[in-house]
């Protein structure tokens, strides 16, 4: 097994690293689940499925290999004194529910109020992806994105709103399709200044 460091910045500082099984062990686990579901792991249509699932998991959960701090590290100070809101809307993301291992599909809206530095907007989307591509609950995902931006950029405020549909609710359990869960995290002026928070929420709601 190889050591896998899953520590988001400032959030799980005391958590130990996780041991990652080998690919062979992962594929054997998939074969076990297929057999437990009631199918024949040796039949033609399933022969390559364990390898395909292992490769898919590498893509689904590549966020464990991403460092959100490094993604935000390169900033720019030549802003000509710009200190108004920076908002990136409708960042589509794909995650997986840590309770049932089924997809969470949604959109994130991320804003910050720069104090001295700004960051390339693609980095905001990459930070969303870095945390989304892990086993998640939406509440934690929202908090992690906001806290990483706040810790690295040290702005006057950070706001994150996430809207998502959870297949653990639509394809199993209560079977309620079309339901959207909304979470938010406000830091700094977005929490303390009602006018700033209202401006952010109005901009999120405005049509593109």
- Does 166 qualify as catalytic in the annotation? yes
Q: How many residues does the chain have?
A: 208
Q: Of 25, 58, 99, 139, which is the active-site residue?
A: 99
CA–CA distance, 190 with 180 (Å, rounded to integer)? 23
- Does 99 qualify as catalytic in the annotation? yes
Give CA 61 to chain center in angstroms.
10
- Does 98 qualify as catalytic in the annotation? yes
Q: Do 139 and 99 meet the contact criterion of CB atoms below 8 Å apart?
A: no
CA–CA distance, 33 with 194 (Å, rounded to integer)? 51
Q: Of 24, 25, 98, 139, which is the active-site residue?
A: 98
Q: Of 100, 151, 154, 167, which is the active-site residue?
A: 100
Q: Of 94, 151, 168, 199, which is the active-site residue?
A: 168
- Does 168 qualify as catalytic in the annotation? yes
Dihedral angle computed from the Cα positions of residues 153, 158, 162 and 168, in that order, rounded to the nearest 10 degrees: 70
Which residue in 27, 109, 20, 107 sits closest to 65, CA to CA?
A: 20
Element (H, E) at 75: strand 75-76
Q: Of 27, 144, 147, 166, which is the active-site residue?
A: 166
Label the pairing between strands 2-4 and 18-20. antiparallel
Q: Of 97, 154, 165, 199, which is the active-site residue?
A: 97
- Does 138 qualify as catalytic in the annotation? yes
For the annotated catalytic residues, the residue numbers are 97-100, 138, 166, 168
């Amino acid at each position: 097994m190889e050591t896998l460091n899953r520590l988001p910045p400032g959030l799980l500082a005391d958590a130990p690293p996780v041991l990652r099984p080998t690919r062979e062990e992962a594929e054997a686990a998939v074969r076990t689940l297929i057999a437990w579901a009631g199918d024949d792991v040796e039949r033609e249509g399933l022969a390559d499925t364990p390898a395909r699932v292992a490769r898919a998991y590498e893509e689904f959960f590549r966020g464990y290999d991403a460092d959100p701090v490094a993604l935000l590290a390169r900033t720019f100070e030549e802003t000509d004194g710009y200190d108004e809101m920076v908002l990136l809307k409708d960042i589509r993301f794909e995650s997986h529910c840590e309770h049932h291992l089924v997809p969470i599909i949604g959109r994130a809206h991320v804003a910050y109020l720069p104090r001295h530095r700004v960051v390339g907007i693609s980095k905001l989307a990459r930070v969303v992806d870095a945390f989304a591509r892990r086993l998640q609950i939406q509440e934690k995902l929202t908090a992690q994105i906001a806290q990483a931006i706040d810790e690295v950029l040290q702005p006057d405020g950070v706001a994150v709103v996430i809207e998502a549909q959870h297949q653990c609710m639509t394809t199993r359990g209560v079977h309620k399709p079309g339901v959207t869960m909304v979470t938010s995290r406000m830091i700094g002026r977005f929490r303390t200044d009602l006018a700033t928070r209202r401006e952010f929420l109005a901009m999120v709601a405005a049509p593109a």
